[in-house]
Structure 1
Amino acid sequence: MIYSFGGHDLLGECSRRDLPIERLKSVVAWNISKLRPVLFGQAPYNPVLGETHHVSSGHINVLIERVSHHPPVSALQATHEEENIDVMWVQHFIPKFRGAYVELEVKGKRVMKLQSRKETYDMNQPRLVIRLVPVPRADWAGKMKIKCPETDLEAELHLVSDSFIERFRGNNNRAVKGKISESSSGSKLYDIFGNWDRTISAKNLKTGEVEVLYYANESISGLKPPTVKNLKEVMESESAMVWSEVSEGILNKDWERAREAKKAVEEKQRKSLKQREVSGESWVPQHFSVVKNGKDWDCTPLQPTVPRAPLVITEAHEDIMN
């Protein structure tokens, strides 16, 4: 997910800041902006093997590909042309059943490279907790860590999950507590606190000054879908193409058409799988080199940067990566 903030995209701010500590705080804000309240329920779309999403907004180009279906694994590459920033991640989920709820551990590599600063930021993703009682719902919880070896700085954020009683009372406390520290000495520089769906602040432990790092409302307001700039350049694997008939059925409230269209997409996938099994061929992703090591996955983009996309978001403050 890439967003802008206050008229300036949050990803670009990660490299624009002059001081290393300011750049890390911007990376923290960008990471928090990727969190969204999760809608619980049955989704009409289940990404298929090889499905892609290629989209641009401003100076940012993003390419996502489903590189494995069993288990479901997605890879992402993003390029900020103006600030010379590269983002790459691969993610998959490991479910753990806990009785009244299910934990989905998000595994995979997440890296942001500020090429102009010669800095690399390694990141992870919190867990997704799906609770079954008192009412079904899903939310983010657990620890996020961001580390930059070149600057000797790191941030650690804890997403606080509400207790069963608080959930039962209908409270919605998406709190964040954390810190920014020097990696080598462990010396704490900032306290971080707030709610990831509202406001996140940082307190300088040396001066006592408090600043707001992130406003959720300003970051995610006015979100719109991309539009097609050049239909001839849209790949057949693009999500909008794969699910076009399903979407038309849903928009027209023609549920039978939507169901049949979804069955057709799934049947095409099953047929392709059988053909590969008969011929002994393995699936090869279009845009990433994939390596599996036990339960871990790693992906390397085949191209150094993401080109401009035929799908474009024209507004400066749009969400273009999901």
Structure 2
Amino acid sequence: MQVREGRGSPTLTPPSSLGKGCTAEHRAPNLFQQVFTLFRDVRPGSDLANFQLSPIFNMPKSQLQCYGESVYCTSEDILTRCGRGKNSLERFVAVVAWTISTTRPVIFGWAPFNPVLGETHHVSRGNLNVLLEQVSHHPPVSAMHATDEEEKLELVWCHYLAPKFHGKSVKATIKGKRQLKILSHGENYEMNSPDLYFNILPVPGAVWAGNVSVLCKESGLEAELIFYKGQSFLGFGGNSRLIKGKIFHSQSSNILYEIDGQWDSSVILKDVQTGETSLLYDARQTILNLNTPVVKDLQGIRATESAVVWGEVNKDILEGEWEKAREDKREVEERERCLRKERSCRGEEWVPKHFSVSQNKEGQWECCPLEPSVPPAPIIVPL
């Protein structure tokens, strides 16, 4: 076990949603105080991959939890619909809608904890069991494996952030690959994530932007989605949550559907041939008023669980005890440094417990689950 047992019990907080979510339990400090601290601590062009934020910038949860929430925290089971489509096109359209649903609101000034090496997050929602592990610390690489044996669905994700500070903004490129496998139909869907921009000047804000592709080689179908920053004048006005795209045949490039809307509201699907429109995705039905995970089996929770590793820091932030939060966060990070030093002295190389990890010829990280399925978790999401 690489992460030593945290103090106290796990602390779970509401997921990010269109409703109040985390804002119901946590209020960030003064925005100008945050901006001042950021400019004081970093310089333009700095590589932020290893930068340690003060708790004043942290939301009370780990990045592993944020990745997991985008899959297991929904008010509508849109993932199950993916495997129940009558044909390949119907299933592909459902997968595109589900892909959009994994985009969640981000609040400027908040950032999740950078997971420590070996940290895990294990949660179940109904028959969907989700397990994440931090498989590398430098660079920070997170792996996810999720299975629903009843619906014959499997998810395998490998994510690593590449953030850069550009003076007026921070761009966090989310590298890696996402796979959704519909085992009953032998279909494998590959997709990526949009980039996350934290704009500091002239108006602070956080937006998702960039191109996302969804590809299924078995059916020959492909989708291109574009998340827009939105046009504005000196940072004021404009819509930063627009999304446009298309679904087409990969070989012929023949467009079947056009996609248009807002990922935080509604997204419309237009049949190019007939001109008919239908609702592809409704954020209010899917990511509004999400349930907070709860502990079902306290004894079954690993010492490596995110909600345990960061449990004390989470409590400090929720209670506004910023100096104590700084101390407790430093303690977590110091434990990680001590473990790394101990391994180095013994000449040991850390090996992930739940995934095999490698890099391809292009230097891209790849993560493969060691087990065929994920067992039920001691933490669950109420249905």
The TM-score normalised by the length of structure 1 is: 0.92
Distance 1:51 1:277, change over 3 A: same
Q: CA deviation at 1:64?
A: 0.8
Distance, in Å, in 2 between the alignment partners of 1:15 and 1:258 is: 44
Distance 1:41 1:79, change over 3 A: same
For 1:141, which of 204, 209, 216 is the aligned residue? 209
Q: CA deviation at 1:175?
A: 0.8
SS at match of 1:306: coil
Distance, in Å, in 2 between the alignment partners of 1:197 and 1:314 is: 23
Distance, in Å, in 2 between the alignment partners of 1:60 and 1:20 is: 22
For structure 2, which runs of at least 5 residues remain unmatched after alignment? 1-69
Percent identity over paired residues: 48
2:182 partner letter: L
Distance, in Å, in 1 between the alignment partners of 2:303 and 2:245 is: 43
- Asked if 2 retains the 8 angstrom alpha-carbon contact of 1:3 and 1:10, the reply is no
- 1:211-233 CA-partner distances (Å, limit 9, x unpaired): 00111111112212211111111
Q: Are residues 1:263 and 2:352 paired?
A: no
Aligned length: 313
Distance, in Å, in 1 between the alignment partners of 2:363 and 2:220 is: 30
Q: Are residues 1:231 and 2:231 paired?
A: no
The equivalent residue for 2:63 is none
For 1:128, which of 177, 181, 196 is the aligned residue? 196
- Asked if 2 retains the 8 angstrom alpha-carbon contact of 1:52 and 1:66, the reply is yes
The list of structure 1 runs, each at least 4 consecutive aligned residues, that deviate by more than 4 angstroms after superposition, is 96-99
The equivalent residue for 1:38 is 106
RMSD: 1.8
Alignment of 1:25-174 (within 5 A): 25-43=93-111, 45-96=113-164, 98-163=166-231, 165=233, 168-174=235-241
Q: CA deviation at 1:245?
A: 1.4
Q: Are residues 1:300 and 2:368 paired?
A: yes
Distance 1:70 1:176, change over 3 A: same
1:56 partner letter: S
Q: Are residues 1:16 and 2:84 paired?
A: yes
- Asked if 2 retains the 8 angstrom alpha-carbon contact of 1:3 and 1:220, the reply is no
Distance 1:185 1:197, change over 3 A: same
Structure (1/2) with the larger strand percentage: 1
Distance, in Å, in 2 between the alignment partners of 1:83 and 1:111 is: 16
Q: Are residues 1:214 and 2:276 paired?
A: no
Q: CA deviation at 1:4?
A: 7.5
Q: CA deviation at 1:21?
A: 1.1
The equivalent residue for 1:177 is 244
- 1:188-246 CA-partner distances (Å, limit 9, x unpaired): 00010001111111001112110001111111122122111111110100011111111
- Asked if 2 retains the 8 angstrom alpha-carbon contact of 1:2 and 1:10, the reply is no
Distance, in Å, in 2 between the alignment partners of 1:164 and 1:222 is: 29
Distance, in Å, in 2 between the alignment partners of 1:235 and 1:151 is: 40
2:122 partner letter: H
SS at match of 2:185: coil
The TM-score normalised by the length of structure 2 is: 0.78
The equivalent residue for 1:287 is 354
- Asked if 2 retains the 8 angstrom alpha-carbon contact of 1:3 and 1:9, the reply is no
Distance, in Å, in 2 between the alignment partners of 1:260 and 1:89 is: 33
Distance, in Å, in 1 between the alignment partners of 2:283 and 2:351 is: 38
- 1:83-111 CA-partner distances (Å, limit 9, x unpaired): 10001010112235555333322211211
The equivalent residue for 2:23 is none
